[in-house]
Amino acid sequence: MNTGSLKYIIKTILLILVISFLADKIVFITLNKISDKVYLGQRIGKINQYLEIKDDLDFIIFGSSRANHGVNPEILSKNSFNMGVDGTQIAYSAALIKLLPIQKEQVILLNIDTFNAFSKDYNGSDIDGLLVKYNRNKALKLEIDNLNQNNLIQNFYWSLSYNGLVFELLKNYFIDDSYDYKTYSGYDPIYVTKNQREIFKSIIKEEKSEDCKNNFTLNKIYRIKLREIKIFCKNNNKKLIIYTSPLFNDKCKDDNIQFSQIMKNEKLSYFDLTDFFKNNNSLEFWKDKVHLSNKGAEIFTKKIKKILDEN
């Protein structure tokens, strides 16, 4: 290869890097401006709302979609928020819990799904849901880096923070500017449609026997994050209550027993509510085997309230 060709390659690559870097920053800053005004949607709006109101809350619920759709915080406390987000687990919740203000008295209700807690494969990748704040919030960046869930390239191309979020962001920014986020409690009840009910019936009909786990070693990340949450709550005047949401028909009991034991050993306040609907079950309470309908959630929240009153 002659020098001319070599120069051409280097120049082209450098030019691509420079232009793409600048374009990336322009896009990133523009999307930040838009994003900061969005309070709709789970993946950006809800995080924005949480970051804005977290210091004033008395009661906060964390966990996956089972927490999000299953507990109505308004029944539990006037100054409350449900920070449950679809597909998230302990890493996501822990990162957000640790952003809570120090020394303010707050109650934290944390949903843990026992079948996830014993999973060998869980690697904390649910924290990716916070990548949108990666280049803007040092504490969250550290949490993501510590779990090795960072994308190396994101240090160069910051707009990766908005990967897969652009259309949702634009829709929420442009379509509904009358939305008043202050009235939103974070709870998203599921109103089951006739079609969804039929699908659920078909699923139950086709239900096969389940292979239950027989290895109950708590996932390493669950162990670490539970400890971190426990220490944070203890040092910062937070009351931590952990629970497991109901299942339509839980066929594997050993994971619940083992998890209860671990919680007991850790001296954590834990309530296993997997079988809450066992003796009084109805299809009306469910959207599917793991998610409660609005009707199920209302009944379940009353149970949570009772637990809180007793503790």
Partner 1 sequence: MLFNSFEFLIFFIIIFIVYWLLNNNLRKQNILLLISSYIFYAWWDWRFLSLIIISSFIDFKAGSKIFASRTERQRKNWLLVSLIANLGLLSVFKYYNFFAESFADLMNIFGWQPNDLTLNIILPVGISFYTFQTLSYTIDIYRKQFEPTNDIISFFTFIAFFPQLVAGPIERASNLLPQIEKKRIFKKEWFNEGIIQIFIGLFRKIVIADTIGAYVDTIYGNVGLYNSTTIILATFLYAFQIYYDFAGYSDIAIGTAKLLGFKFNQNFNLPYFSKSLTEFWRKWHMSLSFWLRDYLYISLGGNRKGIKITYQNLMLTMLLGGLWHGSSWNFVIWGGIHGIVLSIEKYLKSNPNFTRTNGLSILGYPITFSIVLFSWIFFRSKDLSSAILAIKKIILFDFSVPFIGNYYLLINCIILLSIGILFDLYLFNKNIDLENFGAKFNMIKIAIITSIIIVLINLFYSTSNNFIYFQF
| Chain residues in the site for partner 1 (CB under 8 A) | 1-2, 5-6, 8-9, 11-12, 15-16, 18-20, 23-24, 27, 152-153, 157, 159-160, 162-164, 166-168, 171, 195, 199, 202-203, 206
Of 3 and 215, nearer to partner 1 (C-beta) is 3
SS3 of 193, please? coil
Beta carbons within 10 angstroms of residue 47's beta carbon: 24
Interacting residues of 46 by C-beta distance below 8 A, sequence separation 6+: 39, 83, 85, 186
- Between CA 223 and CA 117 the distance in angstroms is 9
Of 61 and 160, nearer to partner 1 (C-beta) is 160
Say what the alpha-carbon torsion angle 121, 156, 164, 294 is, to the nearest 10 degrees.
Answer: 60
CB of 108 to partner 1, least distance (A): 28
- Between CA 194 and CA 31 the distance in angstroms is 38
CB of 40 to partner 1, least distance (A): 12
CB of 206 to partner 1, least distance (A): 7
CB of 115 to partner 1, least distance (A): 20
CA 102 distance to own-chain centroid:
22
Of 128 and 255, nearer to partner 1 (C-beta) is 128
CB of 171 to partner 1, least distance (A): 8
Of 148 and 215, nearer to partner 1 (C-beta) is 148
Beta carbons within 10 angstroms of residue 139's beta carbon: 12
